[in-house]
């Protein structure tokens, strides 16, 4: 039976979560600002912050002149303790796994990557990811005992049980909740659980890149954005009203599987004539080879464009126009403030961006397209791994498990 003490502990936990969520979202805040953002009384706020300071979850520093306290000294700022916990983001791409590690103060303290052979199996893939984490932590002196949570970005549709799945020694969770991880990735989820024993948050890696761009990148100042990740595959992510749109079945943002030719070749998704089959990295390499310019990989294609190889430039410009036609419909429907192009091909500048802009201007509803900018992403190849951390910052429980009070 619950006791009055139990109820008070749970209420305190709710208050602590509110304070820490505000700090995660905004960084350092004065106690007055925390009181305003959380709605807690000054007395309650004092008690909560004092307790968090005692446990080392937060630290207090002298404020800047931007937060004056009347005519006296600047108000002290409360912020998350950078040493209180680590957040880890993994992006499991088609040919590479990427890692980003952040501390509780939102600082990315490590990034790394490892190649994945084309014929790699799920178990070897899992071992590669675990080894990358261990080697990166050792090389940078990071204590993985402070690891709080792992965010994982996956290729393809991640089902509607998002964003969290509890991973310990195996799946499904002890309460019988079905895993939110496609079966292809269950060995990875199990292995991460066995190795680190922390909670795992899962989402599509293109959507996570969109979340990263709104958290740290080019879309920080907007609340409505369309993101495209143009790489070996084609994915996307939509931000509406400041929130990531996942859709009812976990398929939100799957721009690569918009059919642009119903009579076209079959796609692995089960449809025909999908955009990814027309402009994905593998298809571009095939087109270049057919024009007498064989290239071994997407990086070589990017280099060929930078070297102004005519046939390769023509292939990429034509593909960008196809992407622009799909985005024109998306822009008409969603009315974003910004269209962000990410992935390896985003760095090719006007050759890619101009055909997209022209298609949107020509085909989208004129009034809606007038003020919509099309820009390259800021965060580069680590965007999805950083987005996995952003997912943890926005949606995971705020207090590291080892610092939480025991609450029944």
pLDDT digits (tens, 9 = 90+) for 303-335: 999 999 999 999 999 999 999 999 999 998 998
pLDDT of residue 305: 96
Q: Is the same domain home to 108 and 72?
A: no
Q: Is residue 240 part of a domain?
A: yes
Q: Is the same domain home to 52 and 101?
A: no
Q: Is the same domain home to 94 and 199?
A: yes
Q: Is residue 169 part of a domain?
A: yes
Single out the residue of 100, 356, 393 nearest to residue 226, CA to CA: 356
Q: Of the candidates 80, 115, 136, which is a domain's last residue?
A: 80
Q: Is residue 99 part of a domain?
A: yes
Q: What is the pTM of this model?
A: 0.75
What's the number of domains the chain is made of? 3
**Are the C-beta atoms of residues 364 and 397 closer than 8 Å to each other?**
no
Q: Is residue 408 part of a domain?
A: no
Indicate the range of 153-162, 291-300, 379-388 predicted with least confidence: 153-162
Q: Is the same domain home to 121 and 76?
A: no
Q: Is the same domain home to 31 and 96?
A: no
Q: Is residue 345 part of a domain?
A: yes
Q: Of the candidates 26, 48, 80, which is a domain's last residue?
A: 80
Q: Is the same domain home to 268 and 144?
A: no
What mean pLDDT comes out for the span 193-205?
86
Q: Of the candidates 80, 100, 135, which is a domain's last residue?
A: 80
Question: What CATH number did the domain enclosing 189 receive?
Answer: 3.30.420.40
Q: Is the same domain home to 74 and 98?
A: no
* Domain hosting residue 58, numbered range: 4-80
92 class by beta-carbon count within 10 Å (0-12 exposed, 13-18 middle, 19+ buried)? buried
Q: Is the same domain home to 228 and 364?
A: yes
Question: What CATH number did the domain enclosing 40 receive?
Answer: 1.10.10.10
Q: Is the same domain home to 272 and 248?
A: yes
pLDDT tens for 341-355 read 999 999 899 999 999
pLDDT tens for 135-153 read 999 998 888 888 888 999 9
Q: Is residue 213 part of a domain?
A: no
* CA dist., res. 131 & res. 146, Å (int): 18
What mean pLDDT comes out for the span 258-266?
87
Q: Is residue 212 part of a domain?
A: no
pLDDT of 62 higher than 70: yes
* CA dist., res. 103 & res. 343, Å (int): 26
pLDDT of residue 72: 57
Q: Is the same domain home to 294 and 178?
A: no
pLDDT of 408 higher than 50: no
Single out the residue of 367, 381, 386 nearest to residue 114, CA to CA: 381
| Highest averaged pLDDT of the listed ranges 118-122, 139-143, 375-379 | 375-379
Q: Is residue 101 part of a domain?
A: yes
Q: Is the same domain home to 153 and 236?
A: no
Single out the residue of 217, 223, 252 nearest to residue 240, CA to CA: 223
Q: Is the same domain home to 75 and 92?
A: no
């Amino acid at each position: 039976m619950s006791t009055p003490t139990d109820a008070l502990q749970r209420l305190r936990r709710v208050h602590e979560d509110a304070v820490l969520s505000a700090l995660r979202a905004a960084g350092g805040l004065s106690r007055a600002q925390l009181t305003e953002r959380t709605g807690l009384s000054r007395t309650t706020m004092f008690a909560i912050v004092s307790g968090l300071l005692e446990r080392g979850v937060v630290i207090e520093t002298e404020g800047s002149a931007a937060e004056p306290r009347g005519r006296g000294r600047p108000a002290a700022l409360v912020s998350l303790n950078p040493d209180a916990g680590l957040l880890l983001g993994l992006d499991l791409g088609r040919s590479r796994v990427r890692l980003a590690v952040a501390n509780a103060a939102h600082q990315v303290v490590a990034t790394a990557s490892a190649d994945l052979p084309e014929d790699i199996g799920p178990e070897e893939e899992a071992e590669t990811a675990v080894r990358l984490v261990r080697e990166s932590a050792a090389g940078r002196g990071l204590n993985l005992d402070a690891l709080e949570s792992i965010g994982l970005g996956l290729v393809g549709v991640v089902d509607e049980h998002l964003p969290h799945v509890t991973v310990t020694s195996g799946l499904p969770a002890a309460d019988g909740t079905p895993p939110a991880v496609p079966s292809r990735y269950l060995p990875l989820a199990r292995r991460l659980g066995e190795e680190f024993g922390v909670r795992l948050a899962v989402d599509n890696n293109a959507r996570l890149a969109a979340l990263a761009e709104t958290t740290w990148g080019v879309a920080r100042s907007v609340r409505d954005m369309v993101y495209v990740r143009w790489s070996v595959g084609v994915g996307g992510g939509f931000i509406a009203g400041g929130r990531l749109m996942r859709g009812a079945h976990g398929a939100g943002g799957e721009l690569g599987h918009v059919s642009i030719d119903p009579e076209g070749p079959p796609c692995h998704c089960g449809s025909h004539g999908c955009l990814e089959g027309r402009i994905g990295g593998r298809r571009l390499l095939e087109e270049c080879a057919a024009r007498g310019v064989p290239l071994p990989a997407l990086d070589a294609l990017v280099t060929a464009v930078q070297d102004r190889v005519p046939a390769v430039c023509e292939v990429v410009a034509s593909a960008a126009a196809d992407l622009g036609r799909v985005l024109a419909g998306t822009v008409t429907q969603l009315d974003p403030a910004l269209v962000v192009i990410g992935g390896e091909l985003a760095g090719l500048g006007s050759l890619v961006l101009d055909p997209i802009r022209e298609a949107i201007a020509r085909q989208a509803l004129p009034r809606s397209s007038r003020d919509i900018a099309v820009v390259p992403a800021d965060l580069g190849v680590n965007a999805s791994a950083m987005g996995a951390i952003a997912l943890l910052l926005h949606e995971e429980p705020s207090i590291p498990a080892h610092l939480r009070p025991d609450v029944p």
